[in-house]
Amino acid sequence: MPHPKPAASIPESEEGDNDARLTENWSDAFEPAFCKDSAGADSLAHLLFSLRETVQTGSAGVSQALDVLSVGIRTIYPYTEEYKLSLRLYQLYLTGHLKPENEPRQLLEGAIERGMIEIKRAIALEQKRKKRGTKKRR
């Protein structure tokens, strides 16, 4: 399932559209997980509220919130399909019957390297776009 890319800074005229997109993204993420689990939804709502309050305290709060989110991402990983697939691949690797190019380390290192290249490329494109936008305003 493709994941939405984070929105860059949005002009005020588009803020209403952005709110609708954000609401749709949250709904798409939460509907399958919480449609029959109101206690889980409530628990997550408390966490999100706490994060929001923490961020509002300033830069120290932002840093703390980032730590909380990082731990949350690591904690939720075992519940994902990616985790289940990586475990299956690792178990196949343990049999000794995989070709070297299909072993977990080879596959993961290659994917990580390609992903880092794509991230750097996207950052460079965004920086160029911002520079062009600055020049146009002058």
Whether the model pTM is above 0.85: no
Mean pLDDT (the chain) is 88
pLDDT in tens, 19-64: 889 999 989 989 998 989 999 999 999 999 999 999 999 999 999 9
pLDDT in tens, 83-132: 999 999 999 999 999 999 999 999 999 999 999 999 999 999 999 988 88
Does position 1 have pLDDT exceeding 70, yes or no?
no
Average pLDDT over residues 53-82: 94
Residue labelled with tokens 């399909």: 81
Query: Which DSSP string corresponds to 77-133?
Result: GGGSHHHHHHHHHHHHHHHT-S-GGGSHHHHHHHHHHHHHHHHHHHHHHHHHHHHHH
Type of residue numbered 33: A
pLDDT value, residue 99: 96
pLDDT value, residue 33: 87
> Contact at 8 Å (CB) between 22 and 29?
no
Written as six digits, the tokens of 65 are 């919130």
pLDDT value, residue 9: 46
pLDDT value, residue 138: 57
Does position 10 have pLDDT exceeding 60, yes or no?
no
Distance of alpha carbon 136 from the chain centroid: 32
> Contact at 8 Å (CB) between 106 and 100?
yes
